[in-house]
Amino acid sequence: MGPVAQTDDGGTMGYNALLLSVQHRLTRGLAASANYTLSHCVGDYADLNSVGPAADATYTNPNNRKADRGNCDTDRRHIFNLTATAETPKFSNRMMTKIVSDWKLAGIYRYASGLPINITTGVDNALNGILLQRPNQVLADAYTGNTGPNQVMLNSAAFLAPTTGTVGSVGRNSVYGPTTWQLDMDLSRSFRIRERLAMQLRAEAFNLTNSFRAGANPSGAINCNTFGQIRTALDGRDMEFAVKFSF
C-alpha cells in the first residue's frame, strides 16, 4: 500500500511588480538602456509543470491548504539589466582613423536576486506519510553570510525539527538562494576591402570577470549533510574570436 496525493483546482497565485526603465539614445557614439523590476509572487503549493507531483508530495497539512501558501517557486524580487554601446570617433589624422576609428564596444550586465528555497525536515515528523514537511525556525537570521564555492550559506542551527506528530511553523519557500549576475562584452569592427568585399573582426567575452556564480540553490533538507551548501556553479569566462567576410 502506497501514498495517495490530494490535489484540487482551488489554488490561487498573486503577482505584483514595478518596472522602471531608462534609455539614452545614441549620442556622440554612446547609447545605453537599463531596466529594473521589483516583484513578488505569492501562491499556494502548485504543480507548475503540469506533470503531477509525487504521490507523497502534497499539502503538508491535508486539512489546511493555506498552510502551504508562500513565495512562488519562480519568485525573484529584484532583476536589473544594463546594456551599453560605444563607438570610437573619427580622427583627423588618417593613420589614427585607420587604426582606432569605427570600433564598437558593447556590454550587457545582468543581476537577479535568488530563487526561494523550501526548507524541509527530510523526514515524516507528522507521521502522516507526506513529504516536504517543514521545521520550526528558532533563530531570526537563517543565513551565514557565505556565498562562495562549497561554502554553507544557510545556518542549520536556525532550524529545528518539530515534535513527532506535529507540523513545523516555517513557511514554504521562506528563504532565498544566492544571487546571480553576469557581465558580457563584445568588441567588433568592420573593414571595407573592396566595393563588394568586407571583413569584420569580433571578440566576445561571456562572464568577463570570470567570477564565481552559484548554479543552483543548495539543499533545503535539514537532515542532509550538505544542507545549505553551495555545490554548483555557472560557467566561467568564455571567450570567442571570429573573422567574417561579406561578398
Compute the 3-state secondary structure of the chain and give helix, strand, coil in percent, each to the nearest 5. Answer: 5, 40, 55
Residue 52 has pLDDT above 70, yes or no: no
Report pLDDT digits (tens) over 114-133. 999 999 999 988 888 888 89
Buried b (16+ CB within 10 A) or exposed e, 183-204: bbbbebbeeeeeeeeeeeeeeb
**What is the band of 247 on the pLDDT scale with cuts at 50, 70, 90?**
confident
Q: What is the pLDDT of residues 172-207, one digit of tens each?
A: 999 999 999 999 999 999 888 887 888 999 999 999
Q: What is the rounded distance in angstroms from the CA atom of residue 217 to the CA atom of residue 113?
A: 12
By the 8 A CB rule, do 122 and 131 touch?
Answer: no
CB atoms < 10 A from the CB of 65, how many? 17
Q: What's the pLDDT score for residue 56?
A: 61
Q: The pTM is what?
A: 0.85
Grade residue 2 by pLDDT with cuts at 50, 70 and 90: low
Q: Which residue has the higher pLDDT, 61 or 206?
A: 206
Instruction: Say what the pLDDT of residue 48 is.
Output: 61
Q: Which three cell numbers stand for residue 47?
A: 504543480
CA-to-CA distance for 66 and 231, rounded, in angstroms? 32
pLDDT digits 0-9 by tens, 124-165? 888 888 888 999 999 999 999 999 999 999 999 999 999 999
The pLDDT value recorded for residue 49 is: 59
**What is the rounded distance in angstroms from the CA atom of residue 221 to the CA atom of residue 121?**
5
% of the chain with per-residue pLDDT over 70: 93
Q: How far is the C-alpha of 104 from the C-alpha of 89, rounded, in Å?
A: 10
The reported pLDDT for the residue numbered 47 is 67
Site of grid cell 507540523 = 167
Q: Mean pLDDT, the chain, as a whole number?
A: 90
Confidence of residue 50 (pLDDT cuts 50, 70, 90): low
Residue with cell 555545490: 231
- pLDDT value of residue 19: 97
pLDDT value of residue 54: 64
130, with CB counted inside 10 A (0-12, 13-18, 19+), is buried
